[in-house]
Structure 1
Amino acid sequence: MSRFLLAFNGTRGDIQPAVVIGAELARRGHEVIVGAPPNLCEFVTAAGLSAASFGYDTHAHMNSEVVRTKMRTGGPRQRWRAFTEIRDLGWSQAVSDMAALGAGADAILTGFVTEQIAAPFAESIGAKLISVHHAPIRPNSAVSPVPAAVSGLPGAVNHASWWLTDTAMWLLTRERQNTLRRELGLDGAVTRSPRERFEIQAYDPALCPELVAEWSGNRPFVGFLGLSGEQRRRIGVDTGDAALLHWIRTGTAPVYFGFGSMPVPDPGAVVGAIMAACERLGARALISTGWAGLAPSDSEDVRVVGALDHEQILPLCRAAVHHGGAGTTAAALRAGVPSVVCWVGSDQPYWGARCVRYGIGASVRLKGLTAETLAAALAAVLAPDYARRAEQFAGQLITPEQAVRRCADLVEERTEANLGYRARR
């Protein structure tokens, strides 16, 4: 039996894969603890895992002024100050939390945003570091490091862009990383780009075959990680009450709208665009309020709900309009319904572009969304050929059960190999 620390910070979309992996490792008899933002520890424990606070409250952060306003308004100087504020947010807290959580771990699993902290701690205790990525964030010739950039750029341009991005991030963070290394008694300085790190790609290779061909065995693809039915039951995911299910089934299948934990600068304007676009197209709307608190009034053709079980509800819908997070995108893909990705940032434009590439969705920016833009995107994806392609594409995807088994197998293999190496030293 091994001891695994899964240390992740971010929104629920960042923490949910840790819950899925952790539950499978625990089922196999391992000791598992999940470090998560304090606002999501209850989510972890509801799934039956031990949880401890790791880093800052991400719900408060996503609704803070720096995220909702400073990063999206003003000139370059203001945006740069906002970026550095976000970069430094919670570093000391996460370092302190990691020091308390890491002792005795045989392996530390972490995400991209916490690798800089997890890596030196793993090195200092001889644990295996395993990163879990839900989008491509390492140098390659197929994908730009700027997800919203023009697609189809030459491979050499993409590689050069990655070099510049990695170098800029290294220059911005190397001082604090090297300070942490010294505090942990480690020799040497942090390198510009980790090349030999084992990084599981927790998304489906059907969406990016060119990356599968380019990357080595240190970046295996396992598929999207999703909660099992039992896990969804344990955490109390709303599968829809009888009245909602009756409403869905006694009319034209609705369009689902939900932006998860994303900050929406003007919720009223977004709601107005949704209502106007649906009225123009004669579509019914099922709206999940999310962290943004979207709150239109119920009417005969509109239903407003909280968080819903995507696996149960999306297959009953005509299309899904969402922010393009990896988890929500995966749920829509597996449901076989087309998407309109209204992206905010991070990896979301990438998933929107993937949907466009395979003819199973459209992609627009959430900021400045208008009824005209939304209606045009919806009109396109509601066409029968989009529904047909989306249904066919769903059949190509790795199932959640296959994904978590493969992921846990890889984690066990790498951890056992590292334990053997430690024993031989």
Structure 2
Amino acid sequence: MAVMDRSLWPRAYLRHFQRKASFQFAALTWGSRGDVQPFVALGAELVRRGHRVLLAARAPFRSFVEEHGLEFFEMEEDGTEDLMHSLASSAGGADGVKLMVSWQRRMVPSQLRQFWKASEGADVLINNAAFTGPALPIAERRGIPIFQAFFDPGFIPTRRYCVLDNRIQERNAFLNVAATRLKNIAGGLFSWDLVNAWRREHRLPVDLLGENLRPGLLFRLPVLVAWSQHLLARPDDWPEWFAQTGRWRLAAQQKPSQRLKDFMDAGEPPVYIGFGSWGVHDKKAVTDILLEALRVTGQRGILHRNTVDGRSELPANVYVDDNLPHDWLFPRVKAVVHHGGAGTTGAVASAGVPSVIVPAFFAQDVWGHLVRQKGIGTMLPRRELRVDSLVAALREVTQPQVVERAKALGVNASKEGAEVLAADEIERRLQDAARMG
């Protein structure tokens, strides 16, 4: 592969970068386990290659991070759960945007302060591009390379598609690019003054445009696209240093409990139901719906404890727990009913089973529409979650043609070796950076 032209990696990001046999990485994260786990998977692969990786995350993830050989930097509580619950209970639209802006205004100063500490001594940064934008000026000020990871479509401009009305749409090339750029500009302007206050304090030039992911910079930095090409293929107009790797998975699967294995062995493959981090406000009502839908369809069920209420009596064909390792469990179930987070959607696709996506907010709608478009599942709007609608969705996704399409996609997606590809790309680009420094 050709060495990148010097203009494709701004000189400011290489001022203090030095060629080394191994590097100290700082992975800067935000959010729930679904947001943190991909960086643990990539970090574990980098550690296996002899690098050191520090991962910045909230306190509940310390043991998870450290047991995979990574160093841990404890971030302050960032309001993740409150934001997820608020978004899930909002009406969406302007209400959802208002919540995100409020969160962004609160979190940007905190991330700037904490990421600055976490990146001390780092040679290279890796960040979640959509939710940890303050990592960019920190990398610029420290004069070190940064790799931006994207887990959801709609943030990188392309002539092929854009995300409008919470779905992938193929308009004309101009509109596709313009829609994404305008969305990114708006996102940056919400915290423009906060970021520039930090930039002035650290003697960096003011960012006059205020575009959070402005193409003038975005297209001059390496990007890791962490969703499967079999779900959404890489556009041809992205530069060659935008590497689409697929979903980063932990090499060593979390082991299931004996109780879970016994349940799996006791009957037909069950349906898994779990709504991740968005939270269920009326758990009794939702639990009633889920149990009745399983009864009507005659399915066995595995329910995540965070999704249901604490009732002590459950049908014999229902299993409830919070130790439910996705990569072990999903290939063994009939279908997965979930919230449509990028990580869970990728895990279900790689497992080769159909999805019923019940999205909590806008980013998850995109995956819901995509799996429906691919014919590997369906989407059920959260406010339409009823016994009859869930029964219909379960019957739809267990049709033979849906099962076969999901299985075929899973065969391909499961072979991607994404965390290895991502680590290869990082090491290759750092070799390029060393030659340019």
Taking structure 2 as the reference length, the TM-score comes to 0.86
Between 138-147 and 127-136, the greater mean CA deviation after superposition: 138-147
Q: Map of 1:124-163 to 2, 5 A cutoff?
A: 124-136=141-153, 137-146=155-164, 148-149=166-167, 151-163=169-181
Distance 2:141 2:368 in 1: 39
Structure-1 residue corresponding to 2:397: 381
Structure-2 residue corresponding to 1:123: 140
User: Conserved in 2, the CA contact under 8 Å of 1:147 and 1:349?
Assistant: no
Question: Is 1:356 the counterpart of 2:364 in the alignment?
Answer: no
Q: Map of 1:322-361 to 2, 5 A cutoff?
A: 322-361=338-377
Pair 267,157 (structure 1): closer, same or farther in 2 beyond 3 Å: farther
Distance 2:88 2:358 in 1: 16
SS in 2 for 1:228: coil
Between 131-140 and 52-61, the greater mean CA deviation after superposition: 52-61
Between 165-174 and 17-26, the greater mean CA deviation after superposition: 165-174
Distance 2:161 2:323 in 1: 32
Q: Percent identity?
A: 26
Shift of 1:312: 1.6
Shift of 1:240: 3.2
Distance 2:288 2:171 in 1: 36
Q: Which residue of 156, 161, 182 corresponds with 1:164?
A: 182
User: Conserved in 2, the CA contact under 8 Å of 1:106 and 1:419?
Assistant: no
User: Conserved in 1, the CA contact under 8 Å of 2:149 and 2:226?
Assistant: yes
Between 92-101 and 253-262, the greater mean CA deviation after superposition: 92-101
Q: Which amino acid aligns with 1:23?
A: A
Question: Is 1:415 the counterpart of 2:391 in the alignment?
Answer: no
Shift of 1:3: 1.3
Q: Map of 1:93-242 to 2, 5 A cutoff?
A: 93-136=110-153, 137-146=155-164, 148-149=166-167, 151-189=169-207, 191=209, 192=211, 193=214, 194-209=218-233, 211-229=234-252, 232=253, 237=254, 239-241=256-258
Q: Which residue of 396, 406, 411 corresponds with 1:395?
A: 411
Q: Which amino acid aligns with 1:127?
A: I
Structure-2 residue corresponding to 1:35: 56
1:169-219 CA distance string (max 9 Å, x none):
23222211211211221124154313323210011112222x332322132
Structure-2 residue corresponding to 1:406: 421
Pair 157,268 (structure 1): closer, same or farther in 2 beyond 3 Å: farther
Shift of 1:419: 3.4
Q: Which residue of 14, 24, 29 corresponds with 1:3?
A: 24
SS in 2 for 1:396: helix
User: Conserved in 2, the CA contact under 8 Å of 1:145 and 1:165?
Assistant: no
Q: Which amino acid aligns with 1:181?
A: R
Structure-2 residue corresponding to 1:86: 103
Shift of 1:60: 4.1
Shift of 1:341: 1.0
Pair 367,43 (structure 1): closer, same or farther in 2 beyond 3 Å: farther
Distance 1:387 1:327 in 2: 20
Q: Which amino acid aligns with 1:167?
A: I
Distance 1:246 1:99 in 2: 48
1:337-379 CA distance string (max 9 Å, x none):
1111111124322222221122111112223411121111111
Pair 30,346 (structure 1): closer, same or farther in 2 beyond 3 Å: farther
Please, which runs of 5 or more residues in structure 2 have no aligned partner?
1-21
Distance 1:356 1:225 in 2: 23
Distance 2:47 2:80 in 1: 27
SS in 2 for 1:116: coil
Distance 1:147 1:46 in 2: 41
1:300-335 CA distance string (max 9 Å, x none):
221111131112222221111111112212221222
User: Conserved in 2, the CA contact under 8 Å of 1:37 and 1:58?
Assistant: no
SS in 2 for 1:343: coil
Shift of 1:57: 4.0
User: Conserved in 2, the CA contact under 8 Å of 1:143 and 1:151?
Assistant: yes
Structure-1 residue corresponding to 2:333: 317
Distance 1:200 1:150 in 2: 20
Pair 14,150 (structure 1): closer, same or farther in 2 beyond 3 Å: closer
Shift of 1:221: 0.4
SS in 1 for 2:358: strand
Distance 1:248 1:326 in 2: 26
Q: Which residue of 72, 81, 91 corresponds with 1:51?
A: 72
Question: Is 1:298 the counterpart of 2:314 in the alignment?
Answer: yes
Distance 2:191 2:143 in 1: 23
Q: Which amino acid aligns with 2:303?
A: I
SS in 1 for 2:378: strand
Distance 1:214 1:80 in 2: 30
Taking structure 1 as the reference length, the TM-score comes to 0.88
Pair 143,41 (structure 1): closer, same or farther in 2 beyond 3 Å: farther
Pair 57,79 (structure 1): closer, same or farther in 2 beyond 3 Å: closer
Distance 1:99 1:90 in 2: 14
Distance 2:192 2:363 in 1: 24
Shift of 1:256: 0.6
Please, which runs of 5 or more residues in structure 1 have no aligned partner?
none
Q: Which amino acid aligns with 1:390?
A: A
Distance 2:168 2:431 in 1: 42
